[in-house]
A and B are shown apart, each in its own frame.
Chain A
């Protein structure tokens, strides 16, 4: 018997019922400000929070993306029961600083979640992100309960045409994607598009049906992140995505901010020391028109602190 059958049967039947909400495509962000001066900002040499302060300035502050009274979702990588120094999860300092910026811009609510691989409570706590979110007055939500996921269709998907997506992705006005740059055993690199595996329920399907294509397919889904912030402070060079010890990690003290998810991943791949073409999902997403992996025509701001 599958665990879900048990949950749904008998005395728990009522418990898994969620009220049918109106979950349309609430992605259309009404923005009347001038477009940002840069497509991509890369920064290095500082602490995660200080680098973000400096980098977001180049985009005209977080208010370019977050308006008054909007609900914001920040999706860091909190996949593992590991301390920040292991470079497996997004740096808690960065998470807390981005939440603070959102509130300063007048955000009504800032939510944080991940569909973790390890036990979610232990991952939230030991990554330092639970405390970071609490300190910044954000709201931490579990991503490990199927009842919170809604079926959506991915119209341009080749292999992945349907997915169960966490309700916060659908319910919030602004989506900020905040992965950590790290090595990955099967996809070579874990980046922005790969981080989206943490907003869907059935990751096994992706693994079974051409992982790279599924990652690219999901990145075509209409509710896209408006800003991608790649944490490359602690960078896991090997044994990713989980890592074995701090021996796997180099201290890169870097960060990349971009609106184009493909460009963000391409630049981070280069920073890692790889050609983006070798990471198939970047290549596929580029071909599907999600974004551009050719950085040569981009307006890039490079900052070394």
Chain B
């Protein structure tokens, strides 16, 4: 089959997946419901596989569909479904336009097989040892999620705010400004480093990232060795003119030797229409493509050693980072949170750290922006995974959207009534920082915001009242910490539970419900 239609279908499909997935991450208007969100990310390979493991259920079989598609048609996940793949196509397309070259400028590159296989083995081995950190750094969907959440979302917010402030000056209130509540430099910088890497590789060499670094690309690439349909060169028709290789953004066509490296072919179909003689075609050709063994690039042999050294150095930094609770003006008692607070439904910090790929879909979906990417708050193995940042917001009592959207099962969906009793951590009150003690005036902002009245006000000096925490009712939502006006160290903060437990339901004194509506007014 040589029809240009294949390429057009591929482009149309990629745009559908790309736009839908991107919109999920930039949706500052909360237009997309969790149900729709789940459908959009259903086919994302790594999250679906992890959710399958987490839930041990066939309800999350998206990754099996991808396996099947790969065995049938090759790496269609990479060509159309993976948002990072399409992102690279977009970057490369722009680069091609800017360089004003009529012909694309690709050529055949040798496979860096050891590097590819090492980067495939690394996340799997690390995952078996109980940490998702390598998956979270390398999963293409999660990487793209972080790009979209960190870069594209603020751009959309900026555009929105520009329009809303313009309309505002005419007293038109169709659009509301969107405020970004927090900015964490290091997670942003890490994401930016990845962004720069992928961007440069895509700008210069098309899908080089997918075919060198991406473990999903490597896995599906080797599975596609079995694929029924694939791009093949018809030896008798091929003139070895190299036209197809110049079009190949995966740099996998060796036209001199008339071979295609099927592990690197991303089924973009750009080559099909380039051939002057119909010497290259996409067809049913199980096991027909000839392969030639390649030389191994020895310089990459020590990659694993270097990587593990690098990773270990991070753990050393992690031990030294102070998990300080920031603010701006002086109060006296310093506070250091020992355990970061993980989202409701994550069950325990360890479980969460071992399942979350840090795609930040929950960060985008969280209405209060309390979920923020971490650096080393969870330690190295939880890098970039979301945590509750009570300076940015607090966990809304009536909301459970993070569990509903989580594509990996790291945050399990909870019934709302159950979620309201999940204790993520416990509020700790530091009397020496509290305004009621230091200023001798009423405040009570913490108790006002407390949804369970775990923080309540008890008599203090004179007519003053001061907060008291009843831990059994506390769910660790952080509303008290968010509301506390004391700076720089809050007078109340949430210490995370390493394992979430159930809080007691506050069923205190029902009020007298009988009111005599015919009684005279007391004034």
Contact = CB atoms under 8 A, between A and B. Distances in A.
Interface stretch (A29-37, A91-99, A246-254): A246-254
A244 B171 contact: no
Interface stretch (B34-42, B129-137, B175-183): B175-183
A140 B173 CA distance: 8
A144 interface: yes
A242 B176 contact: no
B448 A19 contact: no
B169 A21 contact: yes
A103 B396 CA distance: 35
A185 B510 contact: no
A12 B157 contact: yes
Interface in B250-287: none
Interface stretch (A1-9, A52-60, A221-229): A1-9
Nearest to B179: A145
Interface in B137-164: 154-155, 157-162
Contact of B450 (A2, A19, A213, A242): A242
Contact of B155 (A11, A17, A21): A11
A212 interface: yes
A147 B523 contact: no
Counting chain A residues whose Cβ lies within 8 A of the other chain, the interface size class is 35 or more
B448 A15 contact: no
Interface string B496-517: 0000000000111111110101
Measured as residues with beta carbon below 8 angstroms from the partner, the interface class of chain B is 35 or more
Which of A11, A244, A253, A295 has the most chain B CB within a 10 Å cutoff?
A244
Given A18-B169, A204-B445, A302-B521, A247 B510 contact: yes
Contact of A3 (B161, B182, B185, B522): B182
Interface string B436-455: 00010111110111111100
B53 interface: no
A7 B369 CA distance: 15
B517 to A, nearest CB: 5
A44 B516 CA distance: 10
A18 B165 contact: yes
Q: Which 9 A-B pairs have the closest CB atoms?
A: A186-B444, A15-B161, A204-B485, A145-B177, A6-B183, A142-B176, A19-B169, A185-B447, A237-B511
7 contacts: A15-B161, A42-B523, A119-B367, A121-B367, A185-B465, A203-B485, A300-B523
Given A12-B180, A117-B448, A271-B523, 18 more contacts: A3-B182, A12-B161, A15-B159, A17-B165, A19-B169, A21-B169, A81-B399, A82-B398, A117-B483, A119-B393, A141-B173, A184-B444, A186-B457, A209-B441, A211-B444, A238-B511, A242-B448, A295-B523
